[in-house]
Amino acid sequence: MSKRKNYMKIKEWELDGLRAFCGKLDGVMEDAPGLNFYYSFVMPKLGKEFDLLRVSEEYVVNVELKSGNVSDETIQKQLLQNRYYLATLGKGMYFYTYVSGVDRLVRLSNSGRLVEADWEELARVLERQRDCYRGHIEELFKEDKYLISPLTDPGRFLRQEYFLTFQQKDIKKQILKRLKQNEGQKEQGISVQGFTGFPGTGKTILLYDIAMQLSRRDKVCVFHFGSHTKELEQLNERLKRIDFYYYENTERLSVQRQYSAIFVDEGHKMDEVTLDDILMLADRWSAPMIISYDREDCLSPDERRMIGADLIEAIPGFVGYRLTNRIRLNNELSTFIRCVMCVASGNHRSEYPSVSLAYATNSEETRKLLHNFEKEGYIYIWDAALGEPRDMCGERIEVSEATCKEYAKVVMLINGSFAYDEQGYLRYPVGVENERGQESIVRNLFHGLSRAKENIAIVVENNEPVFDRLLGIVQRDTNKGR
């Protein structure tokens, strides 16, 4: 009945509630047996579940099923939350809860109150629904409708047209709880909390969401380490109670006023001097610090030029959290990127349908291949150390400017200087650095590929050993026994 490929695990009391609901509808609707609902649908990535959903062009009907007696407050809270999530469909909405244990039907009014309902009323609502959606319900809830980046969609972020996952909400709750506990206890020292996770786990949106909430009480600041983009300027201009400071690696901090809380984005890019400067500000202002950062565990230790993550976690009293649920990256792309960085990781898949590999013997062939990928909608993310792209027709962006952004399709270049070491890590010749003289080229490749949401393409130029290792990743089954 749920149209799933595999049978659901469903408890007996859940079946009893569903039977009771069907029986009540059958008593007031002649066509009740012909109704179709999506049963126990869970929104991708968010984990938000709905018992019964029915969607038409005009409106959506949601019915929640309860067995025992539950409080009106609990019912109202759930239906209001359902309305919040289903608003992404942009349709009219009807929300009901049926408590089978006490044979009670209630609905959520337009003003958000809980009111008693009758079955004839629900029947009329269902009868008016014509041409209901019968396809894959997940198609109506694409992640990009409610999972965004503040730097890719600053307008939607400012309008709060986004959701946090359950894991993000849990970390936010713990951080705010600890901040409240530490209020007025300066003798305990600076409160420093942070969270890490692989690219695509939603660190930036979580950091900015917490900053938005704390800024309601007093002005806060965000130190952003990386490129100074027009999206950050837009946020800085619109968010009057949050001040943004942008820093390249060689700059010293210059702050004009005092703030009630300090937020640090891309904290792994900090050096020891910069971190000490921020800690002194936090101590002077008695302001808590909240930091988002990457650990980059899949890279060779020698490629992790910056030690910001180790410095952060060594702060006395530091409390850390880890995001593990990927929002932007799906498991396929995430696994592929980790295997590219270390072919000996042992974390392989049998197939990679969203990955494309291409080989060029010279720069002219590289240009043509990149040109073809750009015509297919790929964003070329390039590293200044590998040369500036010329005569390209599509959109491209330098790797430092792609920080915290996201794109559906990403293509990048691996030239003849890359190689795998004896431990299986991807490496670039020691002493070869990009124009900033700070960041690892392999590290840039890792973060550039991690900007992709749907597809990844890699063009390998004049490097057969590396290309062969990449083929070994994507053609793992066919290489068995070779």
User: Where in the chain is CATH 3.40.1350?
Assistant: 12-141
Task: Check residue 201 and give left, alpha or beta (phi > 0: left; psi -120 to 50: alpha).
Answer: alpha
Alpha carbon distance 479, 472 (integer Å): 7
Q: Determine whether domain 12-141 maps to CATH 3.40.1350.
A: yes
pLDDT of residue 197: 86
From the number of C-beta atoms within 10 Å of its C-beta (0-12, 13-18, 19+), residue 182 rates as: middle
> How would residue 157 be classed by pLDDT, with cut points 50, 70 and 90?
confident
**What is the pairing mode between strands 49-55 and 38-42?**
antiparallel
Residue 71 phi, psi (nearest 5): -70, 155
- 291, β-bridge pairs: 194, 264
Asked if 299 contacts 443 with a C-beta cutoff of 8 angstroms, the reply is yes
What share of the chain in percent tops pLDDT 70? 87
How confident is the model over 397-409, as a mean pLDDT?
Answer: 83
| Residue 267: pLDDT over 70 | yes
Question: What pLDDT, in 10s, does the model give residues 441-463?
Answer: 898 899 899 889 889 999 999 99
> How would residue 248 be classed by pLDDT, with cut points 50, 70 and 90?
low
The dotted CATH code for 331-474 is: 3.40.50
| Residue 372: pLDDT over 80 | yes
How confident is the model over 288-316, as a mean pLDDT?
Answer: 82
pLDDT of residue 469: 93
pLDDT of residue 44: 79
Side-chain half-sphere CA neighbours of 204 within 13 A: 25
Fold for domain 154-323?
Answer: Rossmann fold (3.40.50)
| Residue 351: pLDDT over 90 | no
Dihedral over alpha carbons 105, 110, 114, 120 (to 10 degrees): -20
Contacts 24+ apart (CB under 8 A), 170-178: 171/195, 171/206, 171/321, 171/323, 172/206, 172/209, 172/210, 174/321, 175/210, 175/290, 175/321, 176/210, 176/213, 178/319
| Residue 306: pLDDT over 80 | no
> How would residue 327 be classed by pLDDT, with cut points 50, 70 and 90?
low
| Residue 330: pLDDT over 90 | no
Q: Which of 63-72, 93-102, 230-239 has the highest mean pLDDT?
A: 93-102
pLDDT of residue 435: 40
Asked if 369 contacts 357 with a C-beta cutoff of 8 angstroms, the reply is no
Question: What pLDDT, in 10s, does the model give residues 13-55?
Answer: 888 889 999 999 999 998 888 888 999 898 877 788 999 999 9
Q: Any idea which of 81-95, 163-177, 224-238 has the lowest mean pLDDT?
A: 224-238
